[in-house]
């Protein structure tokens, strides 16, 4: 299968602290892979490196055969990488509909002139943007919330809204940063179905970071385990589950007296 | 025009215009009151354009009157020192409108020059740079003999009448509103809400911030040009930091991110300011105490109504669309 995202020797330092060291990944098109590791292992840093929030100290990021290392975030989004955030980052003061419509910005070719004078083109674009956004809201069962301010939505709906917003950018690859954080077991079950379903429906590749083992073990085809910025294990869920190094990173070592 | 609500808004505005015009010609509204209305309308332009930068895009600019100064002096130089035109035939008004637009464009260019390097950064850098810019502009004007230096630019022809000011203010409000209720406007709002998330859903945040800043500067320049041609002079002290604070108070009192709020506050505070001048004069207190009243008012708003008079909402007649349309 063709590789969609390739990370080659990705290394990142925060001052003297090495957050990520020599991270390699060959993510095939259409895959659903996971990244796990204890707190502070560098998982979110890797997401931030891929999406251009940080520039890597060393290493290369190749997306769809194109070097995107050090590109500005909005250009990376335009290339087709979207993400969600560990601690929700929806636009609280805006309606659910506007949250989605903003994510269409890059595809929008409305000039300032059109906006100032409300030309015919403006109305056509607005209509299309709204229809597209409403469709996404419907898919995520949020259509009744279209005109509700995001700050008034319950947590579970915000999580869905954020995923919908990521999909509104028409991505090829979606990075989900702890999508199940703060959900109850039933919501987690629904989320797992949803993630499977969007992958099929939108034909996208998904790479996710998650703490809840149930999610990772349940849906990921392959898992990378990170500890203190180093990759300590890489394989199928069954393999990772039994690797002594992984158990040690999570639970500590058994001392033999 | 495909927008019924906009047409309705223009009709309402023209009724307001007709009433004021009629009352003035009947002598019910004195020249003095009309002058305050003119000032209020100019402050509407200044406050809504500053609101675009500070309220809608969430950047903190402290140099708005600096841009107004650029507009006032550039247009003043054209009409007074180069063309020597006087209000009279329609041709002179056309020239004045050209001068006003040149003033606005000059202010926008200065805005671009300041915005490009500083808006790349996050945080308070813009506040520091624009604060410095306001002072630099004032100092530069003070030291150019051609525009009168500290004496000010005198003898500017009085082109700004009620009709011109009213139409300009109306156009400013409609154009800025259209921009805000468009995809650009949504991008501005998303930057205010969360610049990182905005960038990561594909908004070119630096570009959008520069656009908002430059457009704000343009309309500040237009406002400055009108002010100069209303007062028939441009003076460095009219464009100092305290005047910028006046406009800032209007934006915050009216409500960040509300055009309606800026309009209400521009009228309210201009009339309050003139009312206090009369009141304080009558009870024998120095009129400089006005600034104290302003400060107290701002503190009260910050304490009791954090989001301003309108709290980020708009009057229904100002909205281009019905809410769920």
d(CA B121, CA B128): 12
d(CA A89, CA B150): 51
Domain boundaries, position B137: 2-318
Whether the Cβ atoms of residue B252 and residue B301 lie closer than 8 Å to each other: yes
Q: Quick one: CA dihedral A158, A161, A165, A171, positive or negative?
A: positive
Coil/strand/helix, residue B314: coil
Substitution target from B120, B186, B219, B320 for chain A, most A beta carbons within 10 A: B186
d(CA A198, CA B215): 41
Give me the pLDDT at residue B324, please. Answer: 65
- The mean pLDDT value of chain A amounts to 91
Q: Please report, rounded to a whole number, the percentage of residues in chain A having pLDDT higher than 70.
A: 98
Q: Smallest Cβ distance to B202: which of A74, A117, A126?
A: A74
Torsion of CA B228, B234, B235, B241, to 10 degrees: 40
CATH topology of domain A1-80+171-257: Rossmann fold (3.40.50)
Q: Which residues of B touch A118 (CB under 8 A)?
A: 2-3, 6, 178, 320
Q: Smallest Cβ distance to A105: which of B175, B183, B194?
A: B183
Q: A82 vs B320: CB contact, 8 Å cut-off?
A: no
Instruction: Show the low-confidence residues of chain B (pLDDT under 70).
Output: 1-2, 323-325
In a domain, B296, yes or no: yes
Q: Smallest Cβ distance to B190: which of A73, A91, A120?
A: A91
Give me the pLDDT at residue B124, please. Answer: 83
Give me the pLDDT at residue A105, please. Answer: 73
d(CA A196, CA A179): 13
Evaluate if pTM is beyond 0.80: yes
In a domain, B79, yes or no: yes
Task: Determine contact: A128 vs chain B, CB below 8 A.
Answer: no
In a domain, B190, yes or no: yes
Predicted confidence (pLDDT) per residue in A91-128, tens digit: 999 999 999 999 987 677 788 999 999 999 999 999 99
> The tokens of B315 are what?
């009057």
Task: Determine contact: A48 vs chain B, CB below 8 A.
Answer: no
Burial class of B145 by CB neighbour count within 10 A (0 to 12, 13 to 18, 19+):
exposed
In a domain, B22, yes or no: yes
Q: Which residues pair with A81 in a beta bridge?
A: A173
Residues 6+ away with beta carbon under 8 Å from B79: B85, B95, B96, B99, B156, B157, B159, B229
Whether the Cβ atoms of residue B201 and residue A134 lie closer than 8 Å to each other: no
Coil/strand/helix, residue B71: helix
Task: Look at residue A235 and tell me whether its pLDDT is greater than 80.
Answer: yes
> The tokens of A40 are what?
């502070």
Quick one: three-class SS letters along A155-204?
HHHHHHHHHHHHHCCCCCEEEEECCCCCCCHHHHHHHHHHHHHHHHHHCC
Q: A118 vs B178: CB contact, 8 Å cut-off?
A: yes
Q: CA end-to-end span of chain A, whole Å?
A: 49
Whether the Cβ atoms of residue B37 and residue B20 lie closer than 8 Å to each other: yes
In a domain, B323, yes or no: no
Q: Which residues of B touch A120 (CB under 8 A)?
A: 2
Whether the Cβ atoms of residue A53 and residue A46 lie closer than 8 Å to each other: no
In a domain, B325, yes or no: no
Nearest chain A residue (CA) to B175: A116
Q: A116 vs B6: CB contact, 8 Å cut-off?
A: no
CA-based nearest distance A237→chain B, Å:
30
User: Domain count of chain B?
Assistant: 1
CB count within 10 Å of CB B241 equals 16
Q: A73 vs B200: CB contact, 8 Å cut-off?
A: yes
Q: For chain A, give every domain's residue range.
A: 1-80+171-257, 90-170
CA-based nearest distance A130→chain B, Å:
10
Give me the pLDDT at residue A106, please. Answer: 67
Q: Which residues of B touch A168 (CB under 8 A)?
A: 201
Give me the pLDDT at residue B224, please. Answer: 98
Whether the Cβ atoms of residue A217 and residue A204 lie closer than 8 Å to each other: no
Q: Which residues of B touch A77 (CB under 8 A)?
A: 199-202
Name the nearest CA neighbour of B182 among B4, B319, B1, B13: B319
Task: Determine contact: A115 vs chain B, CB below 8 A.
Answer: yes
> The tokens of B95 are what?
């020239």
Q: How many helical (H) and strand (E) elements, i.e. helices and strands, does chain B have? A: 12, 2
Give me the pLDDT at residue B218, please. Answer: 98
Whether the Cβ atoms of residue A71 and residue A108 lie closer than 8 Å to each other: no
Q: Which residues of B touch A101 (CB under 8 A)?
A: 183, 186
CATH number at residue B209: 1.10.3470
Task: Look at residue A187 and tell me whether its pLDDT is greater than 90.
Answer: no
Q: A53 vs B196: CB contact, 8 Å cut-off?
A: yes
d(CA B251, CA B262): 5
Task: Determine contact: A73 vs chain B, CB below 8 A.
Answer: yes
């Amino acid at each position: 299968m063709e590789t969609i995202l390739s990370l080659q020797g990705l290394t990142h330092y925060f001052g003297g602290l090495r957050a990520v060291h020599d991270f390699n990944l060959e993510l095939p098109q259409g895959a659903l892979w996971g990244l796990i590791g204890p707190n502070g292992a560098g998982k979110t840093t890797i997401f931030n490196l891929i999406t251009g929030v940080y520039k890597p100290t060393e290493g290369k990021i190749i997306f769809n055969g194109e070097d995107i290392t050090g590109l500005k975030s909005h250009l990376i989004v335009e290339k087709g990488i979207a993400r969600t955030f560990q601690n929700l980052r929806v636009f609280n003061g805006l309606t659910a509909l506007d949250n989605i419509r903003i994510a269409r910005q890059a595809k929008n070719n409305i000039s300032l002139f059109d906006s100032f004078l409300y030309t015919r083109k403006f109305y056509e674009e607005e209509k299309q943007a709204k229809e597209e956004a409403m469709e996404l809201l419907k898919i995520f069962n949020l259509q009744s919330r279209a005109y509700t301010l995001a700050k008034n939505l319950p947590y579970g709906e915000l999580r869905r809204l954020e995923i919908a917003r990521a999909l509104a950018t028409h991505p090829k690859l979606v990075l989900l940063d702890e999508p199940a954080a703060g959900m109850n077991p039933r919501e987690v079950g629904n989320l797992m179905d949803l993630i499977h379903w969007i992958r099929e429906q939108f034909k996208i590749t998904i790479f996710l970071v998650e703490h809840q083992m149930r999610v990772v073990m349940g849906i990921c085809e392959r898992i990378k385990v990170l500890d203190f910025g180093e990759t300590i294990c890489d394989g199928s869920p069954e393999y990772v589950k039994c690797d002594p190094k992984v158990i040690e990173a999570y639970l500590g070592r058994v001392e033999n007296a | 025009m495909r927008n019924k609500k906009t047409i309705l808004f223009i009709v309402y505005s023209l009724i307001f215009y007709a009433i004021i015009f009629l009352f003035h010609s009947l002598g019910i509204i004195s020249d003095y009151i009309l002058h305050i209305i003119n000032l209020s309308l100019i402050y509407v332009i200044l406050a809504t354009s500053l609101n675009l930068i500070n309220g809608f895009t969430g950047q903190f600019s402290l140099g708005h009157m600096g841009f107004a100064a650029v507009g006032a002096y550039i247009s003043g130089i054209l009409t007074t020192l180069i063309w020597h035109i006087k209000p009279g035939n329609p041709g002179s008004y056309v020239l004045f409108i050209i001068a006003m637009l040149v003033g606005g464009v000059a202010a926008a260019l200065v805005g671009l020059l300041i915005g490009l390097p500083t808006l790349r950064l996050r945080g308070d850098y813009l506040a520091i740079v624009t604060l410095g810019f306001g002072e630099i502009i004032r100092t530069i004007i003070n030291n150019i003999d051609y525009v009168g230096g500290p004496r000010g630019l005198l003898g500017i022809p009085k082109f700004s009448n009620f009709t011109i000011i009213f139409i300009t203010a109306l156009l400013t409000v409609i154009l800025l509103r259209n921009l805000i209720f468009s995809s650009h406007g949504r991008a501005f709002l998303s930057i205010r809400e969360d610049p990182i998330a905005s960038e990561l859903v594909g908004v070119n945040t630096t570009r959008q911030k520069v656009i908002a800043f430059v457009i704000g500067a343009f309309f500040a320049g237009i406002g400055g040009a009108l002010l100069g041609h209303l007062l028939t002079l441009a003076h460095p002290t009219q464009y100092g930091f305290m005047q910028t604070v006046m406009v800032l108070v209007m934006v915050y009192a009216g409500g960040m991110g509300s055009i309606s709020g800026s309009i209400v506050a521009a009228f309210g505070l201009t009339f309050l300011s003139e009312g206090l001048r009369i009141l304080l004069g009558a009870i024998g207190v120095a009129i400089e105490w006005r600034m104290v009243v302003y400060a107290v008012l701002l503190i009260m708003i910050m304490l009791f109504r954090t989001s301003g008079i309108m709290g980020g909402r708009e009057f229904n007649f100002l909205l281009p669309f019905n809410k769920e349309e």
